[in-house]
Amino acid sequence: MYEHLETAKNQTNLKRIVVDPVSRVEGHGKVTLLLDAENKVQQARLHIVEFRGFERFIQGRPYWELPVLVQRLCGICPVSHHLAAAKAIDQLVGVDPVNLPVAAEKLRRLLHFGQVFQSHALHFFHLSSPDLLFGFESEISKRSVIAVLGAYPDLGVQGVMMRKYGQEVIRMISGKRVHGTGAIAGGMNKSLTIAERDYLLKDIDQMIDWSVASVELIKKVHCSNLPYYDDFGTIRSNYLGLTKPNGALELYHGGLRAKNDKGETIIDHVDYCHYNDYIHEEVRSWTYMKFPYLLSIGKENGWYRVGPLARVNNCDFIDTPLAEAARVEFKAHSGEAMVHSTLAFHWARLIETLHCAESIKSLLNDPDILSHDLVAQGEKRYEGVGVVEAPRGTLFHHYQVDENDIVTKANLIVSTTSNNMAMNESVRQVAAEYLSGQELTEPLLNNLEVAIRAYDPCLSCATHAMGKMPLQLELINAEGQLIDKLVKHSNGDIERNIHD
């Protein structure tokens, strides 16, 4: 592991290299490297420098606003926030998942599959394919989807059309491609009409074919340079995600499962309402993003990865045939119980894309999605927890309300937050193994971004804690010596200290 590179032992006379902003990711972040005279990396960090604050400003609002309000966290995966909040407010009106009307649950699943499908297509084709097709150190003009459309027009158009299809699934159910409505407390506000269903059915076979082709493409890219792809940015970690009760891959609703780097089970089938008993979060002074960890393992080694790699690693099987065949091949390639390659995130992501396409077809052919029995009601409660597998990983929404239906407390653990430690580790691995000691050029620095991009981070989704963040202000003179330092601790205490 590369944790020793989080903070340089001696900060004096180090050269600072900044990659700002990290491009082709959602949200705003930067990477800083501190190099010594021989260009050896002494410190490498991924900083999340934006701040959103949703956890605070949704307090004081009525709970029924939550699915619509919190989805504004993101323009790429709003449906995930919409559904996580909806699952939480279901509980506030006394509706447990088992009591949700069948049609409402299937419509939510369909909505979610549409969203994961479009988000994964966006990430692979628009954001990552330039790196994978042209090389990590290609010239800047090739590092965009425009270049992909120029060199591989069929592939580029395919990516655009796949994303569009996912967005259309979302639009048919929620009224808009981005930031619609749909899920309400205890159910859904509309079902699909026959015309809407048939409109979506028209292109689904094409989507499945294209998804199969993209799995083949990433497999070819990965396996044609196997040692490099299996090593680049790679770290051994724990993995967390939801699975179905039978161990199958699950994106909408299931129990929490965590496995360690050897594939041994840490927790399994845990009711996510009790997530607090298993996961805690740590804050650090140099980033607005928190660091979650598994309580049973501790702060030091309890961090884990979430997202496509974690889900495909964690599940026992996938319940759609083409994706399952792809999963078997994927797992076999590494020869280990768990696939740790960071770049394998792409491969796993496209296996999930295929799973989504197959699942969309199956749900579109299910008559339940036309039913008008859409809302259930129960006894009011004061606390609700909703968890879904967002495209980027496990997403937790936890709310408390008062007797007047007003939100009094909110906690969001957003997928990218869970990958915070892992992204930093991958950045440090690439910095140490691929950059250290070299004269750093702009193309070389793209390697750092490639490692981050593999996680498909949504940095703007993931920065919400307010008031708890420790802050540190340092005054450094021209010789690089620290001459003053002001620290605000998590508990609010302020300390002036130049000696630590």
- Give the interface size with other proteins as a residue count (CB under 8 A): 24
- Residue 83 CA to residue 74 CA, distance in Å, equals 13
* Per-residue tokens: 76: 């790429």
Instruction: List the x/- string, 139-178, binding to other proteins by CB under 8 A.
Output: -----------------------------------xxx--
Contact 396, 412 (CB under 8 A): yes
* Binding of residue 373 to other proteins (CB under 8 A): no
Nearer to other proteins, 67 or 166 (CB): 67
* Binding of residue 400 to other proteins (CB under 8 A): no
Q: Which of 101, 159, 166, 182 binds other proteins (CB under 8 A)?
A: 182
Nearer to other proteins, 184 or 387 (CB): 184
* Binding of residue 485 to other proteins (CB under 8 A): no
Residues 87-116 that bind other proteins (CB under 8 A): 93
Instruction: List the x/- string, 253-292, binding to other proteins by CB under 8 A.
Output: ----------------------------------------
* Per-residue tokens: 232: 């680049």
Q: How far is the CB of 355 from other proteins (least distance, A)?
A: 28
Contact 241, 348 (CB under 8 A): no
Q: Which of 28, 30, 142, 190 binds other proteins (CB under 8 A)?
A: 190
Which residues have CB under 8 Å from 79's CB, separation 6+?
71, 111, 112, 114, 115, 170, 174
Nearer to other proteins, 93 or 440 (CB): 93
Choices 41-49, 185-193, 254-262, 280-288; region in contact with other proteins by CB under 8 A: 185-193
* Per-residue tokens: 276: 């607090």
Q: How far is the CB of 183 from other proteins (least distance, A)?
A: 9
Amino acid at 45: R
* Binding of residue 227 to other proteins (CB under 8 A): no
Nearer to other proteins, 188 or 413 (CB): 188
Nearer to other proteins, 99 or 276 (CB): 99
Instruction: From 207, 170, 169, 190, select the one nearest 74 (Cα to Cα).
Output: 170
Choices 12-20, 102-110, 398-406, 445-453; region in contact with other proteins by CB under 8 A: 398-406
Which 3 state secondary structure label does DSSP give 114? helix
Nearer to other proteins, 220 or 372 (CB): 372
Residues 16-75 that bind other proteins (CB under 8 A): 60-62, 64-65, 67-69, 72
Q: Which of 40, 142, 164, 179 binds other proteins (CB under 8 A)?
A: 179
Instruction: From 374, 310, 446, select the one nearest 19 (Cα to Cα).
Output: 446
- Residue 422 CA to residue 307 CA, distance in Å, equals 12
- Residue 421 CA to residue 304 CA, distance in Å, equals 8
* Binding of residue 185 to other proteins (CB under 8 A): yes
- Residue 258 CA to residue 264 CA, distance in Å, equals 9
Nearer to other proteins, 71 or 128 (CB): 71
Q: How far is the CB of 192 from other proteins (least distance, A)?
A: 11
Q: How far is the CB of 69 from other proteins (least distance, A)?
A: 4
437 in the Ramachandran plot: left (φ > 0), alpha (ψ -120 to 50) or beta? left
* Per-residue tokens: 222: 């990965």
* Binding of residue 405 to other proteins (CB under 8 A): yes
Other Cβ atoms closer than 10 A to 311? 27
Helices (H), 193-298: 194-223, 226-231
Nearer to other proteins, 185 or 310 (CB): 185
Distances (CA, A) of 37 to 16, 28, 42, 418, 433: 11, 30, 10, 34, 17
Q: How far is the CB of 374 from other proteins (least distance, A)?
A: 10
Q: How far is the CB of 394 from other proteins (least distance, A)?
A: 25
Q: How far is the CB of 97 from other proteins (least distance, A)?
A: 20
* Binding of residue 483 to other proteins (CB under 8 A): no
Contact 22, 449 (CB under 8 A): yes
Which residues have CB under 8 Å from 136's CB, separation 6+?
443, 446, 447, 450
Helix axis angle for 153-174 and 102-121, nearest 10°, is 150
Q: How far is the CB of 88 from other proteins (least distance, A)?
A: 15
Radius of gyration, alpha carbons of the chain: 23
* Binding of residue 181 to other proteins (CB under 8 A): yes
Q: Angle at the Cα of 25 (from 233 to 343), degrees rounded to 5?
A: 25
- Residue 55 CA to residue 74 CA, distance in Å, equals 14
- Residue 103 CA to residue 107 CA, distance in Å, equals 6
Choices 161-169, 180-188, 322-330, 447-455; region in contact with other proteins by CB under 8 A: 180-188
Q: Which residues contact other proteins by CB under 8 A?
A: 60-62, 64-65, 67-69, 72, 93, 174-176, 179-182, 184-185, 189-190, 404-406
